[in-house]
Amino acid sequence: MSRPFRSRPRRWWLALGWLLALLFAALLAPVLPLPYAPDTTDLTAIAEAPLTGSHWLGTDPLGRDLLAGLLFGARTALLVSLPAAALATLLGGLIGGIAGFWGNTGLRLPLSYAAAAAGTGLFLLGFHGSPTIVWAGASAVAAGLAGGVALLGRRGYRRTVAVPFDALALALMALLASIPLLVLVLALAALYPPSWPGLLAVLVLTYWPGPARLVRAEILRIRALPYIESGWALGLPAVRILWRHALPNCWHTLSATFPLSVATLIGLETTLSFLGVGLPPETASWGRLLAAARLAPTAWWLVLGPAAAIIGTTVALRQLAVREPAH
């Protein structure tokens, strides 16, 4: 990544140019002199083809301007899809990395801490009442358990328990992947009104298992490699081995799939809007423009415009993220 700028290939500059253009479109969309706003419907121009009327790039079946939709959709992509893909990759990478690295037995906690944490959790789960009393009770339980364990034996305070992180992570992934999206969304929608952070949370929540699985597999392989062994032999702390030596080697896997994640999340965001927890219908997004093509299967421009935008973005991201081998 530290090559001098001068030697970057032209493709790299093109990619950077595209993403900058995207950023500008997102920032400047409200002040650009667009003939139509993205959220108003022109009832006289329904599913109009490009260059036939006053809409340069045509309209969707509800009479919304495609050009405005594309430009304002860039905002949505930048505010929702990209952060969601980045957060999901980060979270998935961390969970997958820890699960693969420590497995079920590698991560050990002092028994007294574990007992105190479990006791507090159970207490809070079992009782409720005024906050002061509850917290006082929980602290008393925690202190009692921790002390009790320490007194168990002479070396009780040094006893540790293994945290089966790998099994937990795998079960959680299977759980999240098994819940039908509709059930999850309805359960959430009954609790929270739709909002931007909520949407981001749902997207990250449903998408992190993918990257996690990839990183877990990579770490399983890397863990057995000699240089990690030598790291252990040198007595390096585990966190440092994971963070500085193991995880960076997963980068090539993650960076290859990250652009695909963006495209997937744009689609997922549209599905969520359809279920009523996503973005409000007046917010333009590329996914929604693509979905509008469903109403008018012959309106090729509705596919071409947003698909080109998504392809451009994913290819540009890939170009920036992936290190090409020197040749």
Give the span between the Cα atoms of 85 and 318, in whole angstroms: 13
Q: Which residues face 65 on adjacent strands?
A: 59
Binding of residue 109 to another protein (CB under 8 A): no
How far, in Å, CA of 286 to CA of 284, rounded?
7
Among the listed residues 157, 236, 274, 320, the single contact to another protein using CB under 8 A: 274
User: How many amino acids of this chain bind another protein (CB under 8 A)?
Assistant: 91
CB of 82 to another protein, least distance (A): 15
Q: How far is the CB of 270 from another protein (least distance, A)?
A: 8
17 lies in the site for another protein, by CB under 8 A: no
The neighbouring-strand residues paired with 162 are: 108
Closer residue to another protein, CB minimum distance, 136 or 151: 136
Amino acid 145 reads L
Give whichever of 14 and 220 is closer to another protein, judged by the CB atom: 220
Q: Residue 80: how many CB atoms within 10 A of its CB?
A: 22
Are the beta carbons of 268 and 290 closer than 8 angstroms? Answer: no
Residue 43 in contact with another protein, rule: CB under 8 A: yes
Compute the distance between CA of residue 215 and CA of residue 203 in angstroms, rounded to an integer: 19
Of the candidate spans 82-90, 125-133, 145-153, 233-241, the one that interacts with another protein by CB under 8 A turns out to be 125-133
Compute the distance between CA of residue 248 and CA of residue 85 in angstroms, rounded to an integer: 18
**Amino acid, res. 50:** P
Check residue 267 for interaction with another protein (CB under 8 A): yes
DSSP H or E run through 108: strand 108-110
Q: For the window 144-183, what string marks contact with another protein as x by the rule CB under 8 A?
A: ----------------------xx--xx--xx-xxxx-xx
- Contacts (CB under 8 A) with another protein, residues 59-88: 61-64
Q: Would you count residue 118 as binding another protein (CB under 8 A)?
A: no
Q: Binding string, 208-237, against another protein, x = CB under 8 A? A: --x--xx-xxx-xx-xxx------------
Contact yes or no for 176/205 (Cβ under 8 A): yes
